[in-house]
Structure formats: C-alpha cells, structure tokens
C-alpha cells in the first residue's frame, strides 16, 4: 500500500516539483519496461530502405541519470529499436515473401582516449557500460561518456518463380545510428570553512559559512547545531517526465528554498590543491552561509546531498566567546571558562574594548586572494623542482 501511494505521488510529480530526485523509483520503472516494450517500440522513428522495409534505434537513458548526469557506477544504458516491413510484397512481376531479417549493431563507448564496444542483440534492452568504475571515478565532473549506437538491419525476400520451387532473392540493408552524451559525476564533496576560520568568533556575530568543492552536482544543504537541525537551503528541485516510449526521466529545475541559511552555486572548472587535499579538478563550488544566535561551544554539522542522493558531511566544534579585559567580560560579569570567554591581556590603563569585523565580501576576497597566492606559490615551487 505504501508503494502504491508513493507511485501516485510520483505520477503527480510529472506536474509538480519534487524536493528530492526519485532515483531508485525511476530506475525500477525503466528496468521494468523490458524487451517486450522496447524491442520493437512503434514510437521510435525509422528510416526506410528498399522493398518497404524500415528500421531505427534509440539510446533512451542511462540507469540512473538525472538530466544528462550519471554516476561512475551507473548500471547500464537503456535502448530500443523499431522496424517496419511487409511479410508479402510485389517486386517486379513477382510476389515475394520475407525469409530473413537480422540486426548487426554495436554500442560504442568513448571516454577520454578510451574506446570500447559491445555487440547488440534484439532481446536485451540494457547494455552494461564496459569501462571500469575506477576509470570513470577520475572524471572531473565535466567530462562526457559518449554512447554511440550504430549498425545495420538486413532483410531478405524470396520470390518463387514458376512451379519448380526455384526463386529469386532480394535483399535490403538499412543503416541505423544514434548518439548521446552523459556527464560523469564522481567523487566526494570537500569542505573548506570560511568563517570562523580559526574555530572561534565573537558571540554577537556568529557564522558557520562553508565552501564546498565538488565534482558532483549538489542540490541541498542541511545544517544542525548540537544535534538539532536548525537550517537548510535547496537550490534545485526535480520533476519526472515520461517519453513516448514509456521511459521516465528526472529533470532538474532551479529554485531557492531557504530556511535560516543561503546557498549559491558557481559552475567553474578549477584546481583547489592549495585549499583541499584532492588531486582532481573540481567543476562545482558551492557557498553555504548560516548565521545563528548562541554563546559558548557548539557542535556544528553540515550535510550536502548530490543528485544521486549521496550525502557528504562536515562537522566541527566552534567556540562563540565574549571579549574580556582584566578578567571582566564586555557585558560586565567576571570571565569564566575559556570556552565562553576569550582570555584578554591585562592592561595598565583602562580602555574601552573595541572589535572590528570584516564584512562578508571582504572575508571572501581575503580567502580568494590567499588561495590564488597559495596556488601561484604551489605551481612555482613545483616547476623549480
């Protein structure tokens, strides 16, 4: 009963936005189409050859796929074909009958400089991707897996001549072709804490601002403080479309659904070696900003979720402290535990406690300048060796 209710909601998702991509449900549906629906699907366009014969093929999707993005461990490629022919036709003055029809085709896979192929038959609608997962795991998040379906359909007609059983054979060959590209998105998300950089901050200006470097597309972030979820931000939602062949496809839509937090996505390809320990370039940079009220130590946690429902988490303790001078806090009470009060240097003369906080854009500018300097220094030292 629960599954039936979910499927009803999923069907409604063809018309309304879904907060999370129904990856597993769409894969199960597409797997269930089977050879009987895809091997001879009348909605696939055909190209005609001679003698009233026609054929066509179609690369439908990858299992799983969200838009044109796929994980490195995708199950396989879903495809289908269609053909049109007459059992009996007139050729010249003869009445001819189809005697044979066959498909000779391959599915070709290209990734970087690697090429592999798989022979096709008309009974298996799911073709395994022949590349090792370890190879696809090295993709930078912008590289394509190219899939090409190419081959020929062959038809033969026998035309009896006279009453002695001899005849004439007529043959028809039809070329079929289709091509699709899918972006491979591997790896885990890497987090870089923007504020507070040193893990402590003034209690009246509390931030938990994070940069997320990723080769995977991320659609939401959830933040918790001391084990309780306090904020979330979603920048994409999803819908499901049904194509004429009956297959379902997950479509991505931009949105802004923020609660106590904000999130931005920057689509660029770059190396972040000076910032995170990762040998591969990144294709996505996400900025998540969160401001909160509180005093003392807090255990902060952020979880981001990618298009294939993989969760990536970063956590740390952050101290939110008052400023002190000569053992007295800025609000007048005696300074206590260092988790709550920042130790102050004793002063001979009584002066007013002051503080200066960098605005958000200046913090980001400082971070970018420092990152560029580190990258330049890293590159220069690497060349000198």
Across residues 201-208, what is the average pLDDT?
94
pLDDT mean over 362-374: 52
Does residue 50 fall inside a structural domain?
yes
pLDDT band at 9 (very low <50, low <70, confident <90, very high): very low
Closest CA to 67 of 234, 237, 270: 237
Asked if residue 62 is part of any domain, the answer here is yes
Higher local confidence (pLDDT), 7 or 345: 345
Inform me whether the pLDDT recorded for 143 exceeds 90.
yes
**Statement to judge: residues 167 and 230 lie in one domain:** no
Residues 45 and 144 in one domain: yes
Asked if residue 335 and residue 291 are part of one domain, the reply reads yes
Are 165 and 195 in a shared domain?
no
Instruction: Tell me, yes or no, whether 163 and 208 share the same domain.
Output: no
What integer pLDDT is reported at residue 348 of this predicted model?
Answer: 47
> Is residue 81 a part of any domain in this protein?
yes
Q: Quick one: 208 and 342 in the same domain? A: yes
Which of 166, 184, 202 is at the close of a domain? 184
End position of a domain, from candidates 151, 184, 217: 184
248 found inside a domain: no
Q: Is the pLDDT of residue 361 over 90?
A: no
Give the single-character DSSP code of 245. T
Q: How confident is the model at residue 344 (pLDDT cuts 50, 70, 90)?
A: confident
| Percentage of the chain lying above the pLDDT 70 cut | 82
Higher pLDDT, 43 or 345: 43
| pLDDT, tens digit, 9 for 90 and up, residues 266-288 | 877 666 655 666 666 788 999 99
Beta bridge partners of 135: none
Backbone angles phi, psi at 358, to 5 degrees: -70, 135
**What integer pLDDT is reported at residue 282 of this predicted model?**
83
Half-sphere exposure of 176 (CA within 13 A, CB side): 29
Q: What is the pLDDT of residue 319?
A: 95
134: CB partners within 8 A, 6+ apart: none
Q: Are residues 100 and 202 in the same domain?
A: no
Q: How many CB atoms lie within 10 A of CB 115?
A: 13
- Find the mean pLDDT for residues 141-145: 94
The rounded distance, in Å, linking the Cα atoms of 155 and 28 is 35
Question: Do both 201 and 161 map to the same domain?
Answer: no
Of 138, 167, 184, the residue that ends a domain is 184
**Is 21 domain-assigned?**
no
Domain limits for position 298? 190-240+256-384
pLDDT tens figures, 75-105:
999 999 999 999 999 988 889 999 999 989 9
Q: Are residues 212 and 322 in the same domain?
A: yes
Q: pLDDT tens across 229-243, in order? A: 999 999 999 999 999
Residues 194 and 123 in one domain: no
Which of 257, 250, 254, 253 lies closest to 14, judged by CA?
A: 250
110 lies in the same domain as 227: no
Q: Compute CA 279 distance to the chain's CA centroid, rounded to the nearest angstrom.
A: 20
Whether 368 has a pLDDT exceeding 80, the answer reads no
* Residue 74 lies inside a defined structural domain of this protein: yes
Supply the pLDDT for residue 353. Answer: 47
Looking at the domain assignment, is residue 108 inside a domain?
A: yes
3-class DSSP state for residue 7?
Answer: helix
For the ranges 1-10, 96-105, 187-196, 297-306, the one whose mean pLDDT is highest: 297-306
CATH of the domain at 349: 2.60.40.10
Is 15 within a domain?
no
* DSSP H or E run through 10: helix 2-12
Q: Name which of 1, 72, 7 is nearest 242 in CA terms.
A: 7
Mean pLDDT score across all residues of the chain: 86
Say if residue 178 is in the same domain as residue 194: no
- pLDDT confidence of residue 372: 52
Q: How many domains does the chain have?
A: 2
More reliable by pLDDT, 50 or 37: 37
- Strands 248-259 and 228-242 come out as antiparallel
H or E element that contains 176: strand 167-184
Average pLDDT rounded to a whole number, residues 105-129: 93
What pLDDT score does 382 carry? 47
According to DSSP, the residues that pair with 301 across neighbouring strands are 224, 315
pLDDT, tens digit, 9 for 90 and up, residues 46-79: 999 888 899 999 999 999 999 999 999 999 999 9
Name every residue whose Cβ is closer than 8 Å to that of residue 197 and which is 6 or more positions away in sequence.
none
Q: Can you give the pLDDT at residue 384?
A: 44
């Amino acid at each position: 009963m629960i599954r039936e209710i979910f499927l009803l909601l999923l069907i409604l998702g063809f018309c309304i936005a879904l907060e999370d991509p129904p990856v597993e449900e769409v894969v199960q549906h597409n797997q269930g189409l089977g050879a009987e629906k895809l091997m001879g699907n009348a909605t696939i366009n055909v190209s005609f050859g001679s003698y009233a014969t026609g054929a066509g093929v179609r690369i439908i999707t990858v299992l799983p796929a969200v838009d044109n993005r796929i994980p490195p461990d995708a199950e396989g490629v879903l495809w289908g074909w269609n053909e049109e022919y007459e059992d009996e036709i007139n050729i010249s003055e003869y009445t001819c009958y189809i005697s044979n029809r066959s498909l000779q085709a391959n599915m070709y896979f290209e990734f970087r400089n690697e090429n592999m192929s798989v022979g096709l038959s008309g009974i298996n609608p799911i073709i395994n991707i022949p590349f090792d997962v370890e190879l696809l795991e090295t993709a930078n998040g912008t590289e394509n897996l190219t899939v090409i379906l190419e081959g020929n359909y062959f038809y033969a007609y026998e035309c009896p001549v006279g009453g002695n059983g001899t005849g004439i054979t007529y043959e028809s060959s039809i070329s079929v072709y289709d091509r699709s590209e899918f972006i491979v998105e591997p790896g885990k998300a890497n987090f870089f804490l923007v504020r507070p950089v040193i893990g402590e901050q003034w209690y009246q200006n509390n931030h938990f601002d994070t940069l997320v470097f990723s080769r995977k597309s991320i659609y939401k972030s959830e933040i918790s403080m001391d084990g309780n979820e306090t904020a979330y931000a979603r920048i994409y939602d999803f819908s499901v479309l049904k194509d004429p062949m009956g297959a379902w496809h997950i479509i991505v839509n931009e949105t802004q659904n923020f609660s106590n937090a904000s999130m931005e996505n920057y689509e660029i390809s770059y190396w972040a070696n000076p910032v995170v320990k990762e040998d591969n370039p990144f294709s996505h940079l996400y900025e998540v900003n969160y401001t909160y009220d509180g005093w003392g130590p807090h255990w902060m946690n952020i979880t981001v979720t990618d298009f294939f429902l993989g969760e990536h988490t970063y956590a740390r303790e952050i101290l939110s402290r008052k400023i002190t001078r000569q053992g007295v806090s800025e609000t007048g009470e005696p300074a206590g535990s260092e988790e709550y009060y920042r130790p102050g240097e004793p002063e001979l003369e009584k002066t007013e406690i002051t503080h200066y906080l960098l605005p958000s854009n200046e913090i980001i500018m400082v971070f970018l300048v420092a990152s560029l300097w580190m990258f330049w220094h890293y590159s220069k030292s690497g060349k000198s060796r």
